[in-house]
Amino acid sequence: MNQSSQEHAENTRNIEAALLRALAETGQSRVARTMGLDDATVSKMKGGEIMKMAGFLAALGMKPVKNTALTVERDDFMAMKRFACNWLMADISADEESKRG
């Protein structure tokens, strides 16, 4: 397996686990009703269809998140962390100077 295939397999497993966790949290019956399916059909999906969906999402470079989640691009997140760090460092320096002065 090359690195890309290994990465895809790992991402697929992680996505499948997230989907199965969400299914367990929401409840199989509720999901079935929402989709207009019976419980047995949703149960069968756990036997392979969910893994296929997970592989599809992984191949697209996507992952499932709750619809209430706020997501940002990694570069934007890193920029926010740097900004916060710089602000905190300046705040700490100001506090130290005020204690000395």
Mind listing the pLDDT tens digit for each residue in 3-57?
A: 689 999 999 999 999 999 999 999 999 999 999 999 999 999 998 999 999 999 9
CB 56 within 8 A of CB 48: no
pTM over 0.95: no
pLDDT score recorded for residue 1: 52
CB 26 within 8 A of CB 34: no
Asked if residue 2 has pLDDT above 80, the reply is no
CB 70 within 8 A of CB 39: no
pLDDT score recorded for residue 13: 96
Angle at 40 between CA 35 and CA 46, to 5 degrees: 80
SS3 per-residue string spanning 23-56:
HHHHCHHHHHHHHCCCHHHHHHHCCCHHHHHHHH
pLDDT score recorded for residue 98: 86
